[in-house]
Amino acid sequence: MSDTASPVAIGIFVALFFLISSLGFVATRWKKADLNQLDEWGLGGRRFGPLLVWFLLGGDLYTAYTFVALPALMYASGGAGFFAVPYSIVVFPIVFAIFPKLWTICSERGYVTAADLVGGLFRNRALALMIALTGIVATMPYLSLQLVGLEAIFAGLGLHASVTLFGHEMELPLLVAFAVMAGFTYNSGIRAPAIIAVVKDILIYTTLIAAIVVIPAKLGGYGAIFDAVPAEKLIIPPTPPGSLGPQFAYATLALGGALGLFLYPHALTGLLAASSRDAIRRNAVFMPIYAFALALLLLLGFMALASGVKQMPEFADGFARFGNIYAVPALFNHMFPPWFVGTAFAAIAIGALVPGAIMSIAAANLFTRNIYRAFIRPDCSEAHETQVAKIFSLLVKAGALGFVTFFPETSVVQLQLIGGIWMCQTLPAVLMGLYFKWLSGNALLLGWAAGIGAGTAMAAATGFKDSVYTLTILGLDIPCYSAVSALVLNIAVAVLLSLALRPSARPDTMAPAPAN
């Protein structure tokens, strides 16, 4: 604990954190079922109605990292960080139009993962395996970022205590939070984050409303806030000659984010837990409310700029360690009394546990169904399958904790940049496969490999520090989100090879999920 720690803030934070987390351990009694079945442990028996899906998807998509990192992007880069708002709006018409069909097929055939779906559509084990591996690998840095958000919150509270494990220093508060998340996930499966998400969203909205009212009032209003932001951070720079300019990069970031968001295993798991396709449609109609909240949340970055917290000596250590991600914790400490700081930080911390739990469950579903059962032990019992999933969910969390512990926080952030690039490369197999029966599984596999290779190479060319890569075509510079340019290559390879191979139409009857 640091010298600047507030006992009031810490006390309220600890009380709320453990009170709300305890809901996850009693979640087994809600919608009671046999949690030795993967469909129950990993998808809640597909019985979540529209309201619960609303909170679950909110917990999926609006995380601790969203609350601290997107405002930090606005703090550092200005208006360019606002791309998250249009992509969070564009994505929901896509969900409304496409994902009810995906849910119907998965529900009828007993599919638990996107790789199950792909395996059934194309009867191609190698393609299904690559979809599963992509989801697991892309989830790891994303889950790590939830822990980075937790670390920033603990630093904002002034909590610092370390223990030495495996010859390396680890933060004790982070280990405790990890143990809590691991415990309720193992015990209750997806029911735990679903229940906690309800309370988490109420706290998050309360915190956000207070922030957008109180902070501007103390800083002299929104006019004063925007006046304090450097002019170059308020608008995107003009397009230079011979280039499509930063505007094109902004547009492709929004498009790529929208295309990849619900391909992430944790987002798809939230959708597949719905009780009906109608529950998905209803949520797609109302989820843009979250986009409005996100726009307000992003303004916290400008508020931090206007408040000058980075120049304040009491926050110097936090900025030195976490960089701009520390902007929101510093802003709240500067603007609010300790009791509210404790409440707000508890909301953000719970906002890390909910998506973190769903991410580990989704990765465990992929490993168990599409690697362990498909290739290692096809004849395993349903109870054994679920037990493997529970154990793997713990390993995923431990791996994410290792990322945070053994690599600098900035390295983890850089790794996450390519998560979206990787997930977009699953789009042709997962979504286009729903509609175009003439696509070949082998062609899609080669397209996936081309997209993954090109996208990763473009990210590597920037040192994994930027997700935008400038292509030069016929003398024209095209700055583009690497996920989109790699996806174009992916689709081109898959379509052209499918036409060249001219496969017969796939049978209408798809392969069922593995027998239990």
**110 exposed, middle or buried (CB, 10 Å; 0-12, 13-18, 19+)?**
middle
pLDDT tier, 118 (very low <50, low <70, confident <90, very high otherwise) = very high
**304 & 446 share domain:** no
Q: What is the pLDDT of residue 125?
A: 94
Please tell me the distance from the alpha carbon of residue 211 to that of residue 151, in angstroms, as a whole number.
21
Instruction: Tell me the two tokens of residue 199.
Output: 């309370």
Q: What is the pLDDT of residue 371?
A: 96
Decide which of 36 and 112 is more confident: 112
Residue 254 domain-assigned (yes or no): no
Q: What is the pLDDT of residue 4?
A: 56
**377 & 462 share domain:** no
Q: Which of 143-147, 194-198, 493-497 has the highest mean pLDDT?
A: 493-497
Q: What is the pLDDT of residue 1?
A: 38
The tally of domains found in the chain comes to 2
What percentage of the chain carries pLDDT values higher than 90? 48
Please tell me the distance from the alpha carbon of residue 118 to that of residue 268, in angstroms, as a whole number.
14
Residue 250 domain-assigned (yes or no): no
**299 & 336 share domain:** yes
Q: At which of 406, 441, 467 does a domain end?
A: 406
pLDDT at 481 over 90: yes
Across the range 130-149, mean pLDDT stands at: 89
Q: What share of the chain is helix, strand, coil (3-state, %, to 5)?
A: 75, 5, 20
**221 & 304 share domain:** yes
Q: What is the pLDDT of residue 234?
A: 86
The CATH number covering residue 12 comes to 1.20.1730.10
Residue 253 domain-assigned (yes or no): no
**133 & 76 share domain:** yes
Instruction: Tell me the two tokens of residue 465.
Output: 């520090």
Do 285 and 53 touch, CB atoms closer than 8 A? no
Residue 263 domain-assigned (yes or no): no
Residue 264 domain-assigned (yes or no): no
**294 & 173 share domain:** yes
What's the chain's average pLDDT? 87
Q: What is the pLDDT of residue 413?
A: 55
pLDDT at 130 over 50: yes
Please tell me the distance from the alpha carbon of residue 92 to that of residue 241, in angstroms, as a whole number.
35
**396 & 466 share domain:** no
Q: At which of 350, 382, 406 does a domain end?
A: 406
**425 & 488 share domain:** yes
**133 & 29 share domain:** yes
**303 & 377 share domain:** yes
**140 & 232 share domain:** yes
Domain that holds residue 194: 7-238+270-406
Residue 364 domain-assigned (yes or no): yes
Q: What is the pLDDT of residue 402?
A: 76
Do 81 and 254 touch, CB atoms closer than 8 A? no
Residue 169 domain-assigned (yes or no): yes
Q: At which of 406, 429, 458 does a domain end?
A: 406
Residue 247 domain-assigned (yes or no): no
Instruction: Tell me the two tokens of residue 496.
Output: 């052209």
**379 & 474 share domain:** no
